[in-house]
């Protein structure tokens, strides 16, 4: 069967090169643009999102059209950011790796200009550049564009947003009038139209999807929360998606840094990317993200432009962009190369109007989503763990020597008991943390915190809701739980209200007047060799207006330390910090699957010592 790229008119050398990159079939934009661009005699406007394969859509025809027997610049590709510049140059080098004589140079700011000048002097046919540095090099008369036949303006809307209009004019004025200009843009605001009018002669236009429509592979969701709960909501979303690999957008550099720092403190594998970092720091952060050694990249719009990382599962708009048009660029960081992705907005009730504006621009509706409860998170994490255990690669050679001792240890337990205990090991940890977690969802007409708390308080005023760490997995019925609590707590069944039996835990209500008696009697209670605890639950805490204090006690430092205590942690390998990086990935069996490509970084976060809603939220509340 003839290779589909060959059918489009691509030569064998290039077909073989893209085959090596795993490109089997052209993407829709490649299918449509390649035959048109190969003709080489048209100006061209392609309205396409990032992640659709547009680099190859223009890169492959360029390679076919350029004369590589001469070492003069014949193609100039302008793009908005250094990251994108490097990406495009590297892609084109890959496509042309079998093409004799092909030479590509990347010209961008923040790097040694002498090296770039040297490469240009040595002879190149394709120059990929950001406008500022390009102009600098032109100013030094270090490049001759008189043989340029093709100019590509990639992410034209972004270049204009970043104020490169003048630079582009100046650069283009040094290229021959009869060159062909190919413009790619995710959106088509009037300024981009103007470029098309000014620089192009009757261009062929291709629109992938409908105009200004976001990538069809991306679903859009929004969550309404109170402003003070935004950070907790972010964490809840992350915890509910154990395999998340996301870019989180903030409006300002300071927010970006703040959110990243809080996440890091709270045990997440996150880092910030913004303009106050040195180029070297930004490169480092990006490399970690690309290598999947980081799970959450917290970025400003400008810093995140041109990020080309595949398999980003979510884009999270921690704050909505000022320029509604930027939403398309943000969300385009996910759903790349045919993958699906979710773009999430965490908003307050006043921002619904902005969501409607975005819907109009992208031509797609948002789904209003509800933040999961703490227990939903526990359940999700539990089954994620179960799934990981099921799929973990067992290293027989290494583990076999320990098996007899392990079997000895478990000799008394049934298979079911062992499974229950393994599952509980992780589950209890999340439960511990989430058992008091409040409902973070706010309604569209939510007026703030006070009203809601008051309402809750009134509802539960006679009873206090308590948590107990036994439940149906211990084969308790409601009746069993009632007598267990009454016998050990020395209170009457009449003082107990509603009993909510769950899996490894339960809730029950106790009349306020009996709470102290229960707590003073219910001490050192064991069930099946396990310590049984009773604690006030989050709802009860809120209703008694001591919420903040109790939550701090529940989620704070003390417990945190106990999570990360010796044995348990060691069994997951490495120190706490190390667990975020390569070491942990190996130890949790995640890397194999990840490299397989099916999951976005499964197993690269360590839950073994990391409470989720910790210091950041606490600080905000205190
Ligand atoms: P781009 O829109 O050029 O940034 O491409 C997005 C991603 O899709 C890049 O990682 C490309 O390597 C990948 N890609 C481009 N074309 C194809 C193709 N025909 N088949 C598979 N992957 C592709």
pLDDT score of 140 more than 50: yes
Distance CA 160, CA 548 (A): 48
* Helix, strand, coil percentages in the chain from 3-state DSSP, rounded to 5: 50, 15, 35
Residues of the chain with CATH 3.30.70.330: 460-594
Which amino acids bring their CB within 6 angstroms of ligand 1? Answer: 23, 26-27, 30, 50-56, 308, 310, 336-337
Output the average pLDDT for the chain.
Answer: 78
Residue written as token pair 């060691």:
570
Distance CA 196, CA 180 (A): 12
**Two structure tokens written together for 468:** 């107990």
Question: What is the model's pLDDT at position 549?
Answer: 27
**HEC assignment per residue over 479-546:** HHHHHHHHHHHCCCHHHEEEEEECCCCEEEEEEHHHHHHHHHHCCCEEECCEEECEEECHHHHHHCCC
Closest-CA residue, ligand 1 atom 11, reads 53
Question: What is the model's pLDDT at position 374?
Answer: 83
Per-residue pLDDT of 401-431, as tens digits, reads: 999 998 988 888 888 888 888 888 777 877 7
**Two structure tokens written together for 244:** 């998340």
Q: Do residues 519 and 485 lie in contact, with contact meaning Cβ atoms separated by under 8 Å?
A: no
The pLDDT confidence band at residue 233, using thresholds 50, 70 and 90, is very high
pLDDT score of 459 more than 70: no
- Given ligand 1 and candidates 52, 56, 152, 312, which is best to mutate, with the most ligand atoms within 8 Å of its CB? 56
**SS3 call for 343:** strand
H or E element that contains 163: none
Q: What is the pTM of this model?
A: 0.48
Helical H runs in 125-251? 131-139, 156-161, 165-172, 190-199, 230-240
- Given ligand 1 and candidates 49, 53, 61, 79, which is best to mutate, with the most ligand atoms within 8 Å of its CB? 53
Share of the chain above pLDDT 90, in %: 35
Question: What is the model's pLDDT at position 338?
Answer: 66
Residue written as token pair 């540095």:
133
What's the 115 CA to ligand 1 centre distance in angstroms? 29
Section 426-437 average pLDDT:
77
Minimum-distance ligand 1 atom for the alpha carbon of 310:
10
DSSP characters for 439-454? P-B--TT---HHHHHH
Q: 282-291, 326-335, 563-572: which range is least confident on average?
A: 563-572
Tell me if the domain spanning 218-371 has CATH number 1.10.3720.10.
no
Question: What is the model's pLDDT at position 616?
Answer: 34
Section 129-147 average pLDDT:
96
Q: How many residues does the chain have?
A: 622
Distance CA 195, CA 36 (A): 20
Please report the beta strands in 326-443, taking only residues with DSSP state E, as ranges in sequence order.
341-347, 367-368
What's the 310 CA to ligand 1 centre distance in angstroms? 9
**Two structure tokens written together for 358:** 């975005």
Question: What is the model's pLDDT at position 602?
Answer: 32
**Two structure tokens written together for 130:** 């950001």
What's the 90 CA to ligand 1 centre distance in angstroms? 13
What's the 51 CA to ligand 1 centre distance in angstroms? 6
* Dihedral sign from CA coordinates of 410, 416, 421, 423: positive
Question: What is the model's pLDDT at position 520?
Answer: 93
Question: What is the model's pLDDT at position 448?
Answer: 41
Minimum-distance ligand 1 atom for the alpha carbon of 21:
12
Residues of the chain with CATH 3.40.50.300: 4-207, 218-371
What's the 337 CA to ligand 1 centre distance in angstroms? 5
Find which of 139-153, 238-252, 335-349 is predicted with most confidence, using mean pLDDT.
139-153
What's the 240 CA to ligand 1 centre distance in angstroms? 29
Per-residue pLDDT of 496-546, as tens digits, reads: 888 887 777 788 889 889 999 999 999 989 888 788 888 886 543 333 222
Closest-CA residue, ligand 1 atom 4, reads 51
The pLDDT confidence band at residue 342, using thresholds 50, 70 and 90, is very high
Q: 29-38, 48-57, 335-344, 572-581: which range is least confident on average?
A: 572-581
Distance CA 603, CA 581 (A): 11
Torsion over CA of 346, 347, 349 and 352, rounded to 10 degrees?
-110
* Dihedral sign from CA coordinates of 492, 467, 518, 522: positive
The pLDDT confidence band at residue 218, using thresholds 50, 70 and 90, is confident
**SS3 call for 467:** strand
Q: How far apart, in Å, are the Cα atoms of 77 and each of 54, 106, 318?
A: 13, 9, 33
Closest-CA residue, ligand 1 atom 1, reads 53
Question: What is the model's pLDDT at position 538?
Answer: 55
Question: What is the model's pLDDT at position 545?
Answer: 29
Distance CA 87, CA 94 (A): 11
- φ and ψ at 446, to 5 degrees? -60, 130
What's the 573 CA to ligand 1 centre distance in angstroms? 36
Closest-CA residue, ligand 1 atom 22, reads 23
H or E element that contains 500: strand 496-501
- Per the model's pLDDT, the better-predicted residue between 363 and 4 turns out to be 4
Per-residue pLDDT of 81-133, as tens digits, reads: 888 899 999 999 999 999 999 999 999 988 899 999 999 999 999 999 999 99
Distance CA 485, CA 14 (A): 74
Minimum-distance ligand 1 atom for the alpha carbon of 22:
21
Distance CA 515, CA 485 (A): 12
What's the 23 CA to ligand 1 centre distance in angstroms? 8
**Two structure tokens written together for 524:** 């050192």
pLDDT score of 385 more than 50: yes
pLDDT score of 73 more than 80: yes
Question: What is the model's pLDDT at position 575?
Answer: 27
Distance CA 621, CA 347 (A): 19
Q: How far apart, in Å, are the Cα atoms of 217 and each of 220, 295, 311, 334, 398?
A: 10, 21, 12, 9, 42
Question: What is the model's pLDDT at position 128?
Answer: 98
Nearest residue to 148 via CA among 182, 125, 115? 125
Question: What is the model's pLDDT at position 120?
Answer: 97
CATH C-level class of 4-207: alpha beta
What's the 394 CA to ligand 1 centre distance in angstroms? 34
Question: What is the CATH T-level fold of the domain 460-594, as seen in this structure?
Answer: Alpha-Beta Plaits (3.30.70)
Section 461-474 average pLDDT:
81
């Amino acid at each position: 069967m003839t290779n589909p790229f060959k059918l489009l008119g691509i030569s064998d050398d290039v077909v073989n090169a893209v085959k090596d990159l795993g490109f089997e079939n052209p993407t829709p934009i490649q299918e449509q643009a390649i035959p048109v661009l190969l003709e080489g005699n048209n100006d061209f406007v392609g309205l396409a999102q990032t992640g659709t394969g547009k680099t190859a859509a223009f890169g492959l025809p360029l390679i076919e059209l350029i004369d590589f027997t001469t070492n003069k610049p014949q193609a100039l590709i302008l793009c908005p950011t250094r990251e994108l510049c490097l990406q495009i140059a590297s892609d084109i080098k890959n496509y042309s790796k079998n093409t004799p004589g092909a030479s590509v140079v990347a010209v961008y700011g923040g790097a040694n200009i002498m090296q770039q000048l040297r490469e240009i002097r040595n002879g190149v046919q394709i120059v990929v550049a950001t406008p500022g540095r390009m102009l600098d090099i032109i100013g030094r008369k270090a490049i001759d564009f008189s043989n340029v036949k093709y100019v590509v303006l990639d992410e034209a809307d972004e270049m204009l947003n970043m104020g490169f209009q003048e630079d582009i004019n100046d650069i283009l004025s040094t290229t021959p009038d009869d060159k062909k200009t190919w413009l790619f843009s995710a959106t088509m605001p009037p300024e981009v139209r103007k470029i098309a009018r000014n620089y192009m002669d009757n261009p062929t236009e291709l629109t992938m999807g409908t105009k200004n429509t976001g990538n069809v592979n991306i679903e859009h969701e929004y969550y309404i929360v109170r402003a003070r709960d935004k950070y907790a909501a972010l964490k809840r979303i992350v915890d509910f998606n154990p395999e998340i690999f996301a870019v989180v957008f903030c409006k300002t550099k300071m927010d970006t840094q703040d959110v990243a720092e809080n996440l890091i403190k709270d045990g997440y594998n996150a880092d910030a990317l913004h303009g106050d970092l040195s180029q070297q720091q930004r490169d480092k952060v990006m490399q970690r993200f690309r290598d999947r050694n980081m799970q959450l990249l917290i970025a400003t719009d400008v810093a995140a432009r041109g990020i080309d990382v595949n398999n980003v599962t979510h884009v999270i708009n921690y704050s909505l962009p000022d320029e509604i048009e930027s939403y398309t660029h943000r969300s385009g960081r996910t759903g790349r190369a045919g993958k699906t992705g979710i773009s999430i907005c965490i908003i307050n009730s006043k921002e619904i109007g902005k969501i409607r504006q975005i819907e109009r621009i992208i031509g797609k509706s948002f789904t209003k989503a509800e933040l999961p409860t703490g227990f939903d998170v526990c359940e999700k994490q539990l089954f994620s763990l179960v799934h990981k255990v099921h799929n973990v690669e067992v290293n027989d050679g290494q583990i076999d020597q320990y098996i007899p001792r392990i079997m000895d240890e478990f000799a008394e337990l049934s298979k079911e008991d062992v499974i229950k205990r393994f599952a509980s090991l992780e589950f209890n940890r999340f439960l511990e943390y989430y058992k008091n977690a409040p409902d973070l969802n706010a309604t569209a007409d939510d007026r703030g915190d006070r009203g809601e708390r008051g309402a809750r308080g009134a509802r539960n005023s006679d009873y206090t809701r308590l948590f107990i760490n036994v439940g149906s997995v211990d084969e308790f019925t409601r009746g069993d739980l009632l007598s267990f609590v009454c016998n050990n707590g020395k209170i009457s069944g009449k003082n107990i209200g509603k009993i909510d039996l769950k899996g490894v835990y339960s809730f029950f209500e106790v009349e306020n007047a009996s709470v102290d008696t229960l707590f003073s009697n219910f001490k050192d209670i064991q069930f099946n060799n396990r310590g049984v605890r009773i604690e006030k639950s989050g709802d009860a805490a809120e209703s008694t207006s001591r919420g903040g204090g109790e939550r701090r006690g529940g989620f704070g430092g003390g417990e945190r330390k106990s999570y990360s205590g010796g044995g348990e942690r060691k069994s997951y390998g490495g120190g706490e910090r190390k667990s975020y990086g390569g070491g942990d990935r190996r130890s949790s069996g995640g890397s194999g699957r990840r490299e397989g490509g099916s999951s976005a970084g499964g197993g690269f976060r360590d839950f073994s010592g990391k409470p989720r809603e910790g210091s950041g939220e606490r600080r905000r509340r205190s």
